[in-house]
Amino acid sequence: MARSIEVHPDTDIPVLRIEPSRGWISLRLRDLWTYRELLYFLVWRDVKVRYKQTLIGAAWAVLQPLLTMIMFTVIFGHLSKIPSEGLPYPLFSYSALLAWTYFSAAMNRSGNSLLGDAHLIERIYFPRLIIPLCGVVAPLVDFFFGLLALVGMMFWYGIMPTWSILTLPLFLLLALLTALAVGLWLSPLNVRYRDIGYAIPFLVQIWMYASPVVYPVTLVPERWRLLYSLNPMVGIIEGFRWALLGKEITAIGMIGVSTITVLMLLWGGATFFKRMERTFADVV
Amino acid sequence: MSDIAIRVDNLSKEYKIGTAKYRHDSLQDHLAEWARSLFVRNSPRLPKSADRVAPSASRPSPKGYIWALKDVSFEVKQGEVVGIIGRNGAGKSTLLKILSRITEPTGGFVEMRGRVGSLLEVGTGFHRDLTGRENIYLNGAILGMKKVEIDRKFDEIVDFAEIAKFLDTPVKRYSSGMYVRLAFAVAAHLEPDILIVDEVLAVGDAAFQQKCLGKLQNVAKEGRTVLFVSHSLAVVEHICRKGLVLQGGTLAFDGTSKEATDYYLRGLSVGRQPSTSSTIDLRNATGRPKACRPLLKRLELFGDEGALADGALKIGAYFKACIHIELDKPTASLDAGLGFDNLLGQRVFTTHTLFQPDWKREERVGEQMFVCEVPSLTLVPGEYKIKVALDIDGVEVDYVEDAARLTIVESNYYGTGKVPWNGVFVLQQRWQLK
């Protein structure tokens, strides 16, 4: 919607103009900044509500990746004997699961976010981008609990973090942006076609096997690696393993390719979202 | 003009008919439609704006689209309280949704000067599992308040809502009254320059409604601009200075709130053709419920100069009504009554044979006539609907709502040349200064 808030030169009174929007419009990131407190409160709501009626609360954040890790260690580490690049398999898979659990939760939440907050969209104005954004920020809380468990595991296995751990926030940000990009594409589609809601869990499942969660990148034949790293999660998970465990980096190029893919996906998603945004209230 | 707070210019909104149909449907249908549109040129997309000049009721919109709002233009001055009335589907909600930026117009524009706050419902975004305290912050933020602002007004909000004891209880354990009070309290402490309100007063008990109304009036007194949509004409007349009537998506009337409600009511009674002649045939009256036995036959109205030809009477004048009935079987217990309602639907005066101490009951059959005399009918000027009712054995066997219209016109009732401009009736009175 083409709305502009301008401050009248003489009086200081903001003037709001509402009119039909035409063509492709800007993302209005400034508008988003004005509403940053709303983002904070929505994230705060999601986190609070999530733990309010659970028995073990935040322990879920650790249990989920931990139990998955144990399962993977038994099936893939011991039974299938998948190589883990010299690392203990539990650490190898948990470091990836840390990134993956966050990413899948964030993608799932932001993909369903607009429907979840449909009543808000019908009743009040705020930059709609806040909703999928809230979906990717809220699971960060779980991520930090999961990270604490990893620190404990590293201690147990006697692996000390190196200076490379300082780059972890960068890879986390990349994971957040990937989830946001997917959310920006999926959530408006989900408003229109409820099919998307059914497709998301399936997408999460397939995507996981297309990412190096249970197996190392080195298992992928060399000539397919470039194509493989078009999946942003390849670079992100590799980055996580490198940052946390100091594992030798396989290919810095893969991380580069992943980053470029994410940025393109994000730009497209934001534009798409803005364009679809106009009709949300009419369709929801 | 710097004192104009809201300027709405040729605002239009077109909806695709059957949007509702597409609400929860699947991708499959849309893919099929999209595929079809590839082959059909000029598929039903919106026409170019150049073709869209002056859409009106007489010019049907392209197939499959409907104008929820057509070329609506008006201006609201700063500090004005404006009521918007209209039937369901007249476009009130669409207008509010555009003004509060929830949906975007198809044509025209709106310009608003100042911070805009909109309240299309109270308690938007309340979460059942969160406590009262938490919901105040969440709801405040959703309504557009800053955290420091909420901190500052927190105690005031809690006081207004009268929930201090339950501040740390999840709102799902609140009674519905407490819930609504809290929700309104947060909303009431929003301090925009322009406030857009939709029917939110239709909540809570009477005492709380009164409190809300008072709050809304205060907002107006503070010089803020209020745009208010309501079904309650009395409230619109009471708190709004200006009134807008929407009809079928167009602006039908723009004037004072009193004029607007009158206009709206006249529109409602179109097709009913209230009789203004002195003799009203009740046999086929439209205001009679189907379940009634049609025993009421005729109603005649008289003033002090004989039959009421134009249905008009001066304040405090003599009034007489004759109710003709026909009894199909003999009956001893017979009562009749007349009720006067103003156009807001409020009963202002009831007269009944029951109220008469020396009313005699004797067996009657066939055609009968009740005569009711009121020595001085002291209602204030305005239009009134007369309900006529017949009771047999204490049961209301027949009645006709809005059987006749009576217009009370100004007169020199007090002998001072002055008449009251508000209230319901006039009474003889005596003042002294001691």
CATH number, domain with residue B226 = 3.40.50.300
Q: Do B58 and B207 fall within a single domain?
A: yes
Q: Which domain holds residue B148?
A: 4-28+46-268
pLDDT range class, residue B232, cuts 50, 70, 90: low
Specify if B122 maps to a domain: yes
φ, ψ at B310 (rounded to 5°): -105, 10
Q: Do B328 and B400 fall within a single domain?
A: yes
Specify if B321 maps to a domain: yes
Of B225, B249, B268, the one marking the end of a domain is B268
Specify if B420 maps to a domain: no
**C-alpha radius of gyration, chain A, whole number:** 21
Residues of chain B contacting residue A45, judged by C-beta atoms under 8 Å apart: 127, 130, 134, 138
Q: Do B284 and B258 fall within a single domain?
A: no
Q: CA distances (Å), B312 to each of B304, B317, B323, B405, in order?
A: 11, 10, 19, 9
User: B 21-40 residues with CB below 8 A of A?
Assistant: 22-27, 30
Torsion of CA B1, B3, B6, B10, to 10 degrees: -30
Residue B366 CA to residue B375 CA, distance in Å, equals 29
Which DSSP state fits B304?
Answer: T
Contact A45 B108 (CB under 8 A): no
Q: Do B159 and B228 fall within a single domain?
A: yes
- A79/B contact by beta carbon, under 8 A: no
Specify if B431 maps to a domain: no
Q: Do B211 and B359 fall within a single domain?
A: no
Q: Do B168 and B252 fall within a single domain?
A: yes
Contact A45 B27 (CB under 8 A): no
CA distance B87 to chain A (A): 21
Count the domains in chain B: 2
CA distance B57 to chain A (A): 22
Q: Do B254 and B285 fall within a single domain?
A: no
Specify if B66 maps to a domain: yes
- Name which residue leads in pLDDT, A79 or B419: A79
Mean pLDDT value across residues B124-152: 91
Contact B104 A121 (CB under 8 A): no
Could you tell me how many residues make up chain B?
A: 434
Contact A14 B124 (CB under 8 A): no
Specify if B177 maps to a domain: yes
Q: Do B254 and B337 fall within a single domain?
A: no
Q: Between A18, A45, A281, which is nearest B105 by CB?
A: A18
Hey, is A80 helix, strand or coil?
A: coil
Q: What is the ipTM of this complex?
A: 0.84
Specify if B273 maps to a domain: no
Residue B341 CA to residue A280 CA, distance in Å, equals 45
Q: Between B25, B103, B115, which is nearest A282 by CB?
A: B103
Q: Do B18 and B90 fall within a single domain?
A: yes
pLDDT of residue B280: 84
Lowest mean pLDDT among A199-208, B286-295, B407-416: B407-416
Residue A251 CA to residue B243 CA, distance in Å, equals 70
Q: Between A13, A125, A193, which is nearest B101 by CB?
A: A125
CATH number where B291 lies: 2.70.50.60
Residue A128 CA to residue A187 CA, distance in Å, equals 11
Contact B115 A194 (CB under 8 A): no
CA distance B130 to chain A (A): 7
Of B268, B303, B331, the one marking the end of a domain is B268
Q: Do B257 and B356 fall within a single domain?
A: no
Per-residue pLDDT of chain A (284 residues; tens, 9 = 90+): 444 455 444 556 778 888 887 655 666 777 888 889 999 999 999 988 888 777 777 788 888 888 998 999 899 888 888 888 888 899 999 999 999 999 999 999 999 999 888 888 888 888 899 999 999 999 999 999 999 999 888 888 888 888 888 989 999 999 999 999 999 999 999 988 888 889 999 999 999 999 999 898 888 888 888 888 889 999 899 899 889 887 776 667 888 888 999 999 999 999 899 888 877 877 76
Q: Is the pLDDT of residue B373 over 80?
A: yes
Q: CA distances (Å), B375 to each of B51, B350, B371, B381, B413, in order?
A: 65, 14, 13, 17, 14
Q: Which residue of chain A has the CA closest to B108?
A: A19
pTM: 0.71
Q: Do B70 and B151 fall within a single domain?
A: yes
Q: Do B56 and B86 fall within a single domain?
A: yes
Q: Which residue of chain B has the CA closest to A19?
A: B109
Specify if B57 maps to a domain: yes
- B124/A contact by beta carbon, under 8 A: yes
- A12/B contact by beta carbon, under 8 A: no
